[in-house]
Structure 1
């Protein structure tokens, strides 16, 4: 096949039947906002933060235009227009003819233009104004579409709604006989000794000739294959059994073994007409009831109180440690492998084994899932619905069904995708949906039809699952440590502690005369430092909380140090507490991992584009497979208080580890004191162990913090440290 890159220009019009008065060069994939801003010489939106200047772009039609190349000698081949996705509703025109219309950004477009196009004609993609339900402003505007709601404004995302050609788009010259679609399904036998693979190929037309397929392992050895002599047929099926398969495992549990499925189509004279190659990873996965969950509903005829939330992969129960992933840019069209790779490698370095792809954002591009396959990062994939009561109109459900089918077909071959979910917070009071909502029933149906062996959840949270909290100290005065230590959830799928960006990042965003002290207006508010979350006017900088523990900061440097320390220590405590609550608790997934544009403060542990906050190191410590841990009831202490810490050994690894001795020390200033020693016995696979309680009277000190240090003899990689606040005055 020959591909032809297209040179595009773009312009806007109030009437799609009238061409734009002005054209500018367009980058594809991308977004019309970026093209127009570039042509006008505007600074990048993330630099000056003036997103309001883009508002008018939501209400007009945008026309992409290119010229078709002159291909006088097609030699029996067919000319196709191919696009991975256009955001959101659009038409495709060749000359004065409309050849395609579509609503939905996730369905691939493949149009045979051979019989309608002549060389030198114009090809146009007309993009409609953004979806608007007409029910109000903000995320509710997205409630009648499958447009990701986050772009309508969120507590970490500006109101800036992308539109345009957002995935790879090109012309392709194909043989008249070519491979139209390659699909496969497999079943891993219960004893994991055999994988049964079924292959189905749809050809472009009734074909004669030869079709070949082969399955190759990671060492290049052919496992099985077949040559089929075609007799005027357009469907070809194949099947094989893989004995003693190399399974794909999540990170920390085994290798990420992959196979390669290669198919080829040959003409009657043996000439190669088309070929495709797909990577396959074999694994089984399911959600099972958490240990002890059935015991919560002994009264008859009461049903279960919680949903099945323990993830089992290849027959092994996995404690999920991970984070919520959001699109790494406001404009997902500009995101590719170069943006995904460093972020995902940092996620892997944190000992994460799963990322929840949050339903407010766009579904990632293929390179995202390829990287997750390689790194052993499982993916919980929400469909792009969030925090709305979605329409039940036939038109919406038709679009949703087609978009969902496209998403599942594109992703189901990736072994990393282990959970499908209807969307984010759809059963909450602000959304008002239930399991009887037609959108939920439709998504469940599509997943069952297309990928029946991958679990489906209607939404998150669901019965027994926790979302929140999102503050170090909540509106009732409870610290995050108390909130979690008194909670009982089958899974913690969102929890967060806010923290500011680095001083360097803040200086790049905020003018020096507004930098310090922070003001609850202007750039600080625009960058989510104040009033970001409707539940707390101080979010996400949380100045009042910082001042409660450390007093009024005297510089921006001091504010950042204390704010980042609280985020790091808070998340450290929450991850470890979730792990202590297993096996009833099965997941610890914080909100959130990354951010789509540079924020002054929020719950992310990485600043845009890929700058770790200190919280990343803290989370890495708390998610190690094995570590000494301390359960401490609160963060702040005064002289004379009896400091208490319950010692634990946490172990999530797939193997047993031998016992050893933990020594606990407290460091006040330069003075380090041995407090307690504890010998623990060997830990079996996935076993935690609770130890003694350390007690120590807090002395008077000059410093504002002190440390608890846990050291394991001969295993420095299991050591842990915790920082606490010393209150020198009455609170």
Structure 2
């Protein structure tokens, strides 16, 4: 028995063994290869069966790569050649040495495994302590009676999730991609998607630890509520005191100047009133205030720290003249959600770091976003993601992990779903950024539009989760946050999903079938998905291929391997029809193909975002698909897997500016449509010019457009300005004269480019504009951290962009897509990690680094 001193130490200091700090090994147990899967070579098989050093958190893929037994699955076609990894069984093993005093101290012991992917059997000292089947849960396993002094053998055996999915598929419940991800609680996109390869893995992918104590251990879960008038806050603290027997103690809770003390016997829910708490506001509405909460067990050194925010959220679905609204209301303020969908930033999740999350969130903020939607085919992200969003004031729409499939509702699967949902809601409820819970991605749409009833028949298919289990759990665990059953969805019974009149909508016909100009045919209440594809940046694309870039063409099989949408390579070219001359000829030149498709993505998203924002308050959200990328592929992302922005990120940044000037077709004519997403009225003066592509402005007018706070206003452009004399040689240009970059501008003044708020509209079909060859004077000036590239236009030059990665992998620019009238100038700063060589300075002065829209007319 431990002595009194060690017992007192245990009360004040529960002990934690971080299992990342002990040596692990992983070994191959067996392969179960399906049709078409290539086996490992004999040398690799033998080495893997003998075992290699492993890392926790980690995965089989990362461990085998570190051992030199596996090529990088993101290079070339290696994702296909390493599929055998997911179709095999693996064992992770370690030994934890415990001193006799440590074991004597362990009146209670718990093995905590925060993430197991996916079908795991856990054994400690030869005794099975758990059999798991869910990668979306954490496991807290009581191992009190199994610890011993000296060596403690811990093994985690992973059966092949790919094999289990393959064998569970009876054809009754629809899904897509390589394996039946709807039958096992894996990360859905690990089985492949139209923007990612198949990469089923295994491993302890989140933290693992052994916790021991002999006295009382404090656990606490914190949440907040806020009244609709923002005057009454409630701090909810669920306290559990763990001990060898029922434990009791005094718990002290502090929040700022507020201090409460309560006696707790075993467990208690404390609901503590906080008068007039400073609320957490989303970006653009106020400060995202958070409060430090400390929960202490009096008489011990145990204390838990948490940061919380107080906010009130509803989803307004009131009937109106257009159907039913779908507007998020935060702290009583109706919000237009400007944002994007978030997918896993790496298919091998254990490689994600807080710094990587922070970088992506910072890029979303740079792009003027106010919301990210965590899509249901991925995972519930790490705390670091939600912390970054809390801090930035970014709203989060959180899907439950269901996507594009029908799901079984048998007892064991339903039990996993309920346990997973309870855990994740309780984990995320302290984060004020999480403002919507969504039951599934496109599952209700699948039932309504994809022919599922014919296959499913009378079987349960997951609707019981989306309309029953999940909303019930949200109502109990997070009653202050709205829930919707799916995206897209409709509020009114009997109205199908994906209609403009209510709920959320996914606008995919534009990419799959039509053209991006047809975004203007829709005025949804909330656009939760819309997107256009483009390749990644040149450096990211060529870095993922062994082929010499000089031999790479758009028709190369190696490039096609980066494309995971069936027919996607053809779509990239066909969606250029009507926008650039002779799209088919682009397949002969990689540089022009990259630039044309990237520019078309930028145009498409700019068109959609400006159109939808111009219809506020009828439309209350635009979430483009997708912010980021899970691997270096050709996809709909704004930011590629290496973290480099595509030109579309800058287009979205402009289209999401709090104050926006656009030129839109309205009522058969052209209108200047102004959006003011701020709390201050905007007495805008808009200079609208008809500009000849070589001669400059030929007609102009100034429109006075007062725009109220959080409002939209429009003025039609007079016919003498809007109607061209030479429609192929003229374009309309609109500038806000209050823009600081436009100071002193007047009609035809040749003022510096008003970069923040300039709109450009063609007066004929876009590929019919006779853009002149880009004639400009360029000067490259070294600075302390890079260079300034000064560009002066001699003719009208559209969408001037510096593709900085072409000169250095770490080069960055803060903005792009500038349109210059004759005589105008712009200076683009290129940040570089080292002083540029003369060759670098020369490269910055022209293609393929310095690009314009005009280039595509003079190939």
Shift of 1:276: 1.1
- Tell me the secondary structure at the aligned position of residue 200 of structure 2: coil
Contact 2:663 2:734 in 1 (8 A): no
Higher mean alpha-carbon deviation, 555-564 vs 35-44, is at 35-44
* Structure 2 match to 1:722: 760
Deviation at 1:201, TM superposition (A): 0.3
Deviation for aligned residue 1:450 = 1.2
For residue 656 of structure 1, report the CA deviation from its aligned partner: 2.5
Q: Counterparts in 2 of 1:418-457, with a 5 A limit? A: 418-428=435-445, 429-430=449-450, 432=452, 437-440=463-466, 441-457=468-484
SS of corresponding position for 2:345: coil
Contact 1:261 1:277 in 2 (8 A): yes
Deviation at 1:470, TM superposition (A): 6.2
Distance 1:540 1:166 in 2: 36
> Cα distance 1:188–1:271, how it changes in 2: closer, same or farther (>3 A)?
closer
Contact kept in structure 2, 1:372 and 1:379, CA below 8 Å: yes
Q: Which residue in the other structure is 1:512 paired with?
A: 548
Aligned to 1:636: none
1:495 equivalenced with 2:530 (yes/no): yes
Aligned pairs for 1:162-311 within 5 A: 162-179=201-218, 181-205=219-243, 206=245, 210-217=249-256, 222=257, 224-229=258-263, 233-266=265-298, 270-272=299-301, 274-289=302-317, 293-295=319-321, 306=324, 309-311=326-328
Aligned counterpart, 1:673: 697
1:166-206 deviations in Å (ceiling 9; x for gaps): 10112234353101x31234331232111122322011135
Q: Which stretch shifts more, 561-570 or 385-394?
A: 561-570
Measure the CA separation in 1 of the matches of 2:380 and 2:433. Answer: 14
Task: Choose 117-126 or 342-351, whichever is displaced more.
Answer: 117-126
Question: Partners in 2 of 1:715 and 1:657 — Cα distance?
Answer: 17
Pair 1:120–1:579, CA change in 2 (3 A): same
Q: 1:579-626 CA deviation, whole Å, 9 max, x = no partner?
A: 111111111111111110001x32111111210011111101111111
Q: Secondary structure at the match of 1:348?
A: helix
- 2:664 maps to which residue? 631
- Separation of aligned partners in 1, 2:562 and 2:339: 26
Q: 1:241 to 1:608 in 2, by over 3 A?
A: same
CA distance in 2, matches of 1:226, 1:607: 48
Q: Could you tell me how far 1:546 is from its partner in structure 2? A: 5.8
- Range that drifts further, 608-617 or 80-89: 80-89
How far apart, in 1, do the equivalents of 2:439 and 2:202 lie?
Answer: 24
Deviates more, 1:44-53 or 1:388-397: 44-53
Summarize the Cα distance change of 1:135–1:712 in structure 2 as closer, same or farther, 3 Å threshold: farther
The residue aligned with 1:409 is 426
Describe the shift of the 1:7–1:211 C-alpha distance in structure 2 as closer, same or farther (beyond 3 A): farther
Q: Which residue of 2 is the match for residue 3 of structure 1?
A: 16
Q: What CA distance in whole angstroms lies between the structure 2 residues aligned with 1:561 and 1:681? A: 36
Q: Which runs of 5+ in 1 are unaligned?
A: 297-304, 634-642
| Residue number in structure 2 paired with 1:357 | 374
- 1:357-396 to 2 correspondence within 5 Å? 357-396=374-413
Instruction: Quote how far apart the aligned CAs of 1:57 are.
Output: 2.0
Q: How far 1:41 sits from its partner (Å)? A: 4.0
Q: Is the 8 A contact 1:665 1:672 kept in 2?
A: no
SS at match of 1:287: strand
Is the 8 Å Cα contact of residues 196 and 240 (structure 1) preserved in structure 2? yes
Q: How does 1:562-577 map to 2 (within 5 A)?
A: 562-577=596-611
Q: Kindly report the root-mean-square deviation, in angstroms, between the aligned alpha carbons of the 2 structures.
A: 2.8
2:684 maps to which residue?
Answer: 660
Shift in Å, 1:392: 1.7
Given that 2:406 and 2:462 are in contact with CA atoms closer than 8 Å, whether structure 1 keeps it comes out as no
Deviation at 1:630, TM superposition (A): 1.1
Which deviates further from its counterpart, 105-114 or 622-631? 105-114
Summarize deviations over 1:659-680 as a string: whole Å, max 9, x none.
1310023444443215433433
Measured in 1, the distance between the counterparts of 2:295 and 2:205 equals: 29
Work out whether 1:527 is the aligned partner of 2:547.
no
Out of 144, 159, 165, the position equivalent to 1:114 is 144
Deviation at 1:501, TM superposition (A): 2.0
Aligned pair count reads 683
Q: Does 1:125 align with 2:160?
A: no
Contact 2:540 2:642 in 1 (8 A): no
**Match of 1:35, SS?**
helix
Q: How does 1:44-63 map to 2 (within 5 A)?
A: 44-63=72-91
Structure with higher RCO (Cα < 8 A, 6+ apart): 1
Instruction: Pick one of 709, 726, 729 that aligns with 1:685.
Output: 709
Give the Å deviation of 1:555: 2.4
Give the direction of change, closer, same or farther, for the CA distance of 1:260–1:183 in structure 2 (3 Å limit): same
**Contact 2:674 2:713 survives alignment (8 Å):** yes
Residue among 637, 646, 654 paired with 1:613: 646
TM-score by length of 1: 0.87
> 1:674 and 1:56, CA in 2 relative to 1: closer, same or farther beyond 3 A?
same
Residue 127 of structure 2: which of 69, 94, 97 is its match?
A: 97
| Residue 134 in structure 1 maps to residue 147 in structure 2 | no
TM-aligned CA distance change 1:728 to 1:193, over 3 Å: closer
Which residue, out of 618, 624, 627, partners 1:584? 618
